[in-house]
Amino acid sequence: MAQCPTCGRDIEAGANFCPTCGASVACGASVHSPAVAAMIQEAHKVLAQKPEDASARYNLAIAYKLAGMDDMAIEEFAKVAALQPDFADAFYEVGALHAKHGRRSEAVAALTRARALDPENERVSRLLERLAGAS
């Protein structure tokens, strides 16, 4: 059995992804940068002790996003939004990632919530306008 280079947990030999953290694994090495791998590992350490730590969850979500692990990033940003329902950036990130993958209705729902929380946020308005123009 091998160890995940991101979270350190055991993984089956020949696995493409870690079953614990979802990190991409190729020949026993993470396919994303060491800095991102360290971010993921650190966030997992904090969350093992404090699963309700919204800041650690946000950091994990950002790291997953940087690693191209978009579905896992969406899950973590959604958890952040549940922990801090007034955190507009978490809703924006969920919306942006859904938009990236063509999931328009999910994107619009998350972005609408972000705009309600932060009506002056230009990023939210621009993305909502782009999505409206694409319909």
Cα(37)–Cα(43) distance, integer angstroms: 10
pLDDT digits (tens, 9 = 90+) for 52-86: 999 999 999 999 998 888 999 999 999 999 999 99
pLDDT given for residue 30 in this prediction: 43
The rounded distance, in Å, linking the Cα atoms of 90 and 82 is 9
Query: What would the mean pLDDT of 11-22 be, rounded to a whole number?
Result: 68
Mean pLDDT for 2-9 is 66
Q: Is the pLDDT of residue 48 over 80?
A: yes
**What one-character DSSP code corresponds to residue 120?**
T
DSSP state, residue 88: H
How large is the average pLDDT for residues 103-112?
96
Under the banding of pLDDT at 50, 70 and 90, the label for residue 103 is very high
Model pTM above 0.85: no
Task: Dig out the tokens for 61 from the structure.
Answer: 């979500």
List Cα–Cα distances, 23 to 11, 16, 37, 42, 58, in angstroms: 11, 8, 8, 14, 17
- pLDDT (tens digit per residue) in 19-38: 666 666 654 334 457 888 88
Question: How far is 81 from 86, CA to CA, in rounded Å?
Answer: 7
**Summary mean pLDDT of the chain:** 86
Chain center to CA of 100: 13
Give the mean pLDDT of 86-97: 96
In this predicted structure, which of 7-16, 88-97, 107-116, 118-127 has the lowest mean pLDDT?
Answer: 7-16
Higher-pLDDT residue of 9, 101: 101
The pLDDT, as a whole number, for residue 3 is: 66
